[in-house]
Amino acid sequence: MGLLDNHDNEFIAEDKSDEEILAESVKDPRHFRVLIERYQEAFVRKAEGVLHSHEDAEDVAQETFSKIYLNAARFQVMEGASFKSWGYKILMNTSFTKYQKLKRDRGAIAPIDPEFYEALPDTLSRQFEKEEVSDYLVSILSKMPEHLRRVLELHFIDGRPQQEVAEIEGVSVGAVKTRVHRAKEAFKKIEDTMTI
């Protein structure tokens, strides 16, 4: 009989919320199977969208469930932070960590400047390691319009002064300042949609 074997799933699966099941799994690990059954397929699909590999996506889903279980006692229900949003945030961070590792293995990764972390709100980011936060940044940047993303990457990630960014982009320094401002607003909007 395995650690997560549970013959009482019917007891908790029908009438308990994800948050209640997570809390119960802290006391009795067998209950965690219900969350795995509820989210396994969706987690794999979401991770596959990032990694483009079913096998890697399954590994990431497994790792995500491990992280969720290991941190279950620390999860607290807050406004705008359900189990589902928390779980998906861990999944996306784990997916992008795996993606970055695959890129690093091929020798194509650039470190993210610590100054850029200031653009992130301080919501749930304290729960994740710095590397996972940087992967979260990469995921947001990938969803931004190219001209705004480019300005943020040149200025914050590459550490180039605005004058140099202006020369590269062929625009005035004032235009770069405007683009940086608009890029920060776009970044925040995308980040807000990812934490829902």
Spans in the chain with pLDDT lower than 70: 1-14, 79-81, 106-136, 194-196
- Confidence (pLDDT) at 58: 94
- Confidence (pLDDT) at 65: 92
Domains of the chain, earliest start first: 7-109 (1.10.1740.10), 111-196 (1.10.10.10)
Contact in structure between 137 and 177 (CB atoms under 8 Å): no
Instruction: Please state the separation of Cα 6 from the chain's center in Å.
Output: 30
Picking from 113, 116, 62, the residue whose alpha carbon sits closest to that of residue 90 is: 62
Phi, psi for residue 81 in degrees, rounded to 5 = -130, 80
- Confidence (pLDDT) at 106: 60
- Confidence (pLDDT) at 13: 63
Contact in structure between 109 and 103 (CB atoms under 8 Å): yes
Global pTM value: 0.50
